[in-house]
Amino acid sequence: MDHNVILEALKEAVGPDQVQVGSAIDPRYLSDWFVPIERGAPLALVRPGTTRDVSDLLRVCHANRLPVVPQGGLTGLSGGATPLDQSVLLSLERMTGIEELDPAAATMTARAGTPLQTIQEAARAAGFFFPLDLGARGSCQIGGNAATNAGGNRVIRFGMMRELVLGLEAVLADGTVITSLNKMLKNNAGYDLKHLFIGSEGTLGVITRVVLRLHPEPKSVCTALCSVTDYENAVALLRHAKQGMGGALSAFEMMWPDFYELVTRKVPGITPPIRYGYGGYVLIEALGSDQTPDQARFENMLQAALEQGLIEDAVIAQSRGESNALWRVRDASGEITQLLDLQAKFDISIPTNDIGRFVDACRTAVKSRWPNSQSVSFGHIGDSNVHFNVHVGAENGEPQDAALERMVYDMVRDWKGSISAEHGIGLLKRDYLGHSRTPEEIQLMRTLKRTLDPYGILNPGKVL
């Protein structure tokens, strides 16, 4: 079929006003947060309004072997939503809204294009809590969060998206709609199909609706920033805090001195809550049900940590305002890309016990190869996840990105870690998938991909 006929078919599927063609595509769809389109140009952008529209347009693309790139809020950090040459961009942005909140089941059913922040606010308004939270909350979509299995700061207690989705609806490459809007915590009736789509970065199906698991709204927040002498003490403090706070520990965020000093010196409006000179800084948060007794237990836990020599100093927030001020230090991670002109943001998992030595080894290796480089590290160490960020610059006018990636990912392989803890594979890490997955695992992924998408139209060249 020639392109004009295909475009007419797409217009019929989603309505003529919802199709932008070629050079008329609004440029904001042409790059995602981190990766601009490299070459070529997409054929069209389509903005379906319903699951039916998604099914109709995928049927057209399937029949014509046209690549389709699902696009959520475009905040992904691995280039998964980056447009491909001659592809159809499928934006979920019109498919917003909460369809149901079921207080007895503690679930919310929402359309995939709903922004995360809207979900959080709707849960709160009904006396519930949706724990997924990340810096891109205002722009990213719940469907994008599911498609990337997003993590964030509270994984240590509530898990990643995979643990927060009970059911979903997805449309397969050929237009088949799989409606699996399960609301029950227990359901072992055959394979749990939702997990095929969660974390598959738009390569196995287009997610159109999700059933989310809600938690009770926390009534107390306890927050502290602590300094530690070294990484080993941070790990000992993690164990101590988990034991001391029972199930209430909701964040345990480690900042290495390079990160802490950079953001407290350079980001306007942030002053260092604790003086410089320690081996690490840890932000601890616990969510509970009664502020006064919870705060007492939290402070007792920290007092014991001080007496046992696990921490050197601590600033304990006495109000929500003070808690927010401590979080500002950690949340300044969103600003380091500009501050350092970063070349690479490595989102790595390494077994928790080894992270400290791994970061030291990486920093040393990068520094000895590129003496003028600068790196900063922070991470959700309770989840085995460290973010290692590097500025190298050019060498004799030559970009060093590829050599830097190879060096760090080879180390991740040797340390038996994962090249993607929470940001996904997308375009950026595809060449390194084999560093963290066996050939048999990759073969099975390919078999699944071929079965669900025989012509390979869904996000080709991403992940696999």
Q: Which residues bind to ligand FAD, rule: CB under 6 A?
A: 32-33, 69-77, 80-81, 92, 112, 134-136, 140-141, 143-145, 147-148, 150-152, 201-202, 206-207, 334, 422-423, 426, 459, 462
Contacts of 276 (CB under 8 A, 6+ apart): 257, 260, 261
- In whole angstroms, the minimum distance from the beta carbon of 285 to ligand FAD comes to 14
Residue 258, φ and ψ in degrees, nearest 5: -60, -40
For ligand FAD, the closer CB: 146 or 317: 146
Contacts of 68 (CB under 8 A, 6+ apart): 58, 61, 87, 88, 90, 173, 206, 457, 458, 459
- In whole angstroms, the minimum distance from the beta carbon of 302 to ligand FAD comes to 25
For ligand FAD, the closer CB: 196 or 236: 196
- Cβ-contact 286, 222 below 8 angstroms: yes
- Cβ-contact 365, 377 below 8 angstroms: no
Name the burial class of residue 27, with classes exposed (0-12), middle (13-18) and buried (19+) by CB atoms within 10 angstroms of its CB.
exposed
For ligand FAD, the closer CB: 152 or 244: 152
- In whole angstroms, the minimum distance from the beta carbon of 176 to ligand FAD comes to 15
Give me the torsion for CA of 215, 114, 324, 381, rounded to 10°: 70
Residue 70, φ and ψ in degrees, nearest 5: -65, 135
Question: How are strands ordered across the β-sheet holding 249-255?
Answer: 313-316, 220-228, 280-288, 249-255, 374-380, 385-391, 344-349
For ligand FAD, the closer CB: 240 or 387: 387
- In whole angstroms, the minimum distance from the beta carbon of 411 to ligand FAD comes to 22
For ligand FAD, the closer CB: 113 or 273: 113
- In whole angstroms, the minimum distance from the beta carbon of 254 to ligand FAD comes to 14
For ligand FAD, the closer CB: 201 or 312: 201
For ligand FAD, the closer CB: 295 or 459: 459
- In whole angstroms, the minimum distance from the beta carbon of 207 to ligand FAD comes to 4
Helix or strand holding residue 315 (H, E): strand 313-316
- Cβ-contact 203, 457 below 8 angstroms: no
For ligand FAD, the closer CB: 91 or 295: 91
Using CA atoms, how far apart are residues 117 and 61, in angstroms rounded to an integer? 32
> Within 10 A of 319 (CB to CB), how many other CB atoms are there?
10
- In whole angstroms, the minimum distance from the beta carbon of 90 to ligand FAD comes to 8
For ligand FAD, the closer CB: 140 or 238: 140
- In whole angstroms, the minimum distance from the beta carbon of 228 to ligand FAD comes to 22
- Cβ-contact 131, 164 below 8 angstroms: yes
- In whole angstroms, the minimum distance from the beta carbon of 67 to ligand FAD comes to 11
Helix axes 355-369, 401-414, angle to 10 degrees: 150
Residue type at 45 in one-letter notation: L
Cβ-closest position to ligand FAD: 144
- Cβ-contact 331, 135 below 8 angstroms: yes
